[in-house]
Structure 1
Amino acid sequence: MSLNPANYSRISFPLFGIEIDPIRYFTIGPLTIHMYGLVIAFGLLLAGVYCSRRSKRAGLTEDDILDGILWITPFAVICARVYYCVFSWSEYAADPISVLYIWNGGLAIYGAVMGAFLGVAVYCRVKKCSLPALLDLVVMGFLIGQFVGRWGNFFNREAFGAPTQAFSRMGLFNTVTGQWEFYHPTFLYESLWNFTGFLILHFLYPRRAYDGQIALGYCAWYGLGRAIIEGLRMDSLYWGSFRVSQVLGAVGCVAAVAALTVLHFRPHDRERLAERVCAKAQAEKEEPKE
């Protein structure tokens, strides 16, 4: 394995007295391993393990979850690319075929989330399982993948915010000027926000009143965080004068909170949760026949 010194870029966090030189990629023989891809893959692995271990909550088996990942991942990647290219078309207009050059970067997390939701819907249609119940489980995987995956932006020195001298600032060393420049580490803000959301929903999961409640909680939590944090970023995708992800985050949050509020005042029978229905059906199958 070899490391290319040219890929070292100094990054500091003055609040913690940290200064490091993260690399963007390394090579193993003819292979070039990008840290961004490695981090994303690790996040996907953790999300898969978490969801597999809790497959019964959606009335499924571990094999069902692994099959689902194979279904959902292509939808997520394709939609993440389409979302980015649609709102960054000026980068590809002169050479449209470059839209296919996904290895050059250009993925949008909101596109991935929407693609994953679409993949889950298709999978549930094929498997004839409960969409709300599976979404409750899948969004937990989203949060894991998102709070881990944001660190891929750290290695790429991207997804940071406007210049600031706030206590939370991140320093990037400018090799041209030889000076430190300080910015909002928005990738870190979002990673911590998603981690907090994961912890909250993880402990609320067993107490849910109906299938789909956790998925709505995710939409509300993630949407709120994205609407706030996106306003600090310098690399937002725009539709006219609007930051696309900020608008989607705000709309998603308001819609989810409205749905949660309405459903809160409706009666729910927890025995109708997919988890309990499937457990009851399984128990009846295993009962000895007289």
Structure 2
Amino acid sequence: MNGLNAVLATIPSPDRGVWYLGPLPIRAYALCIIAGIIVAIWWGERRWVARGGIKGEVTDIAVWAVPFGLVGGRLYHVITDNQKYFGPGKDPLAALEIWNGGLGIWGAIALGAVGAWIGCRRKGIPLPAMADALAPGIVVAQAIGRLGNYFNQELYGGDTTLPWGLEIYRRVTPEGREDALAGVAIDHTPIQIVHPTFLYELLWNLGVALLIVWADKKFRLGHGRAFAVYVAGYTAGRFWIELMRTDEATLIFGQRVNVFVSAVVFIGAVGYFLIARSRGEREDVAALRGTDLTGEPAAEAPEEPKAEEPADTDDVKEDADDKKNSPESVKPE
């Protein structure tokens, strides 16, 4: 009975992560990524306008940042988990199948920042100011994206007897082949109950978003400092969550590569936050770009009236002599 109660208290996994609309596969992972991007753009737009930006500019920047970010995220995943795609019996072309999961946040942020920089440069927008506006939306987008890992039954930790343990099911294709991503769980008897590390990260990310909003409002963070809070907060959580994960990963000195990356990036983010303090309070986006809140060119200040130039001394002397010799200046004796 105790064992039955433990099972009933756990979190069930979805029976599948892919649905078919005719021949078209509808993947939960892709839907979560798209939903996260939409939320990040929507929230970033609101924050950008509130900070002095022009409505629609975040969408314009996203046209550059999102494709760069997706490519960067996939590249980082393929590089750090190359053993999944290269070597004896592996299919290198599977490295292109982004719909099957596998995006590294470090690569997504790094290359996404390059895309954002290009977009900002074209629009005449300071990148740090834009990054501050986007920061909480980005980390919430990551939280939404973690739901895709839930549907894919991936990114989980070791076995657990805790009430919030995640049930893992055996999924099979119609041909009877076992496939955790494309298969369907017919038997909902869990083959394993594990730590839902994807859920831990999801909740942590939401907490980081709240931290950014609070700190940004209280201290009027600018010059990229709100973005630094996001990076430092996220990496602090990712560090201990990575230590719990049991899925296959590249190891360095016996530890997962992302443990080291999290530590290095955390130190870099904290260092930037401290250095950027010397730049003062939040920058005025409209003033930096020379526009007002409506997007119209800022009105030029009226010119101050010029002081009259002093008359030439020779002219003054001649005027004085003429006045002295005039009839009106001669007094009767």
Structure 2: state its 5+ residue gaps: 171-184, 304-333
Encode CA deviations 1:223-255: one digit per residue, 9 max, x unaligned: 101111011111253254342221111111122
More strand by share: 1
Report matched runs for 1:76-95 at 5 Å: 76-94=69-87, 95=91
Q: Which moved more, 1:96-105 or 1:79-88?
A: 96-105
Identity over the aligned pairs, expressed in percent?
30
CA RMSD, Structure 1 to Structure 2 (Å): 3.0
The aligned amino acid for 2:267 is V
Which of the pair has more CA radius of gyration? 2
The aligned runs of 1:131-280 (5 Å cut-off) are 131-174=127-170, 178-206=189-217, 207-235=219-247, 237-241=249-253, 242-264=255-277, 266=278, 268-270=280-282, 273-275=283-285, 277=287
Q: For residue 116 of structure 1, what is the amino acid of its counterpart? A: G
Structure 2 length-normalised TM? 0.73
Equivalent of residue 54 in structure 2, options 56, 61, 67? 61
Query: How many residues are treated as equivalent by the alignment?
Result: 276
- The answer to whether the Cα contact below 8 Å between 2:136 and 2:209 also exists between their aligned partners in 1 is yes
1:151-175 CA-partner distances (Å, limit 9, x unpaired): 0000010010111223442222457
2:61 alignment partner AA:
G
Q: Which residue of 2 aligns with 1:5?
A: none
State the secondary structure of the residue aligned to 2:99. Answer: helix
- Aligned partner of 2:315 in structure 1 is none
| Alignment match, 2:180 | none
- Cα 1:55–1:184 shift into 2, 3 Å: same
Q: 1:282 aligns with which of 267, 282, 292?
A: 292
Partners of 1:189 and 1:17 in 2: CA distance: 15
Higher helix share: 1
Deviation of 1:274 after TM superposition, in Å, equals 3.3
Separation (CA, whole Å) in 2 of partners of 1:100 and 1:267: 43
For residues 177 and 40 of structure 1, the distance between their equivalents in structure 2, rounded to whole angstroms, comes to 27
Q: Does 1:41 align with 2:34?
A: yes
Consecutive unaligned residues of structure 1, counting only runs of 5 or more, are 1-11
Selected match of 1:110 from 106, 113, 117: 106
Aligned equivalent of 2:320: none
> Are the structure 2 counterparts of residues 14 and 257 from structure 1 closer, same or farther at C-alpha, using a change threshold of 3 Å?
farther
CA deviation profile, 1:110-148 (whole Å, cap 9, x unmatched): 221222122222222222211111111222221121111
Task: Give yes or no for contact 2:13–2:166 (8 Å, CA) kept in 1.
Answer: no
How far apart are the structure 2 equivalents of 1:177 and 1:198?
35
Deviation track 1:28-47 (CA, whole Å, cap 9, x = no partner) reads: 23321011111111111111
- Structure 1 counterpart of 2:161, which letter? Q
Q: Render the CA deviation track for 1:174-225: whole Å, top value 9, x for unaligned.
A: 5789555221100000000000111111222233243211011111101101
Paired AA for residue 197 in structure 2:
T
Q: Is the 8 A contact 1:139 1:215 kept in 2?
A: yes
Do the aligned residues in 2 keep the contact of 1:220 with 1:253 (CA within 8 Å)?
Answer: yes
Matched letter for residue 215 of structure 1: F
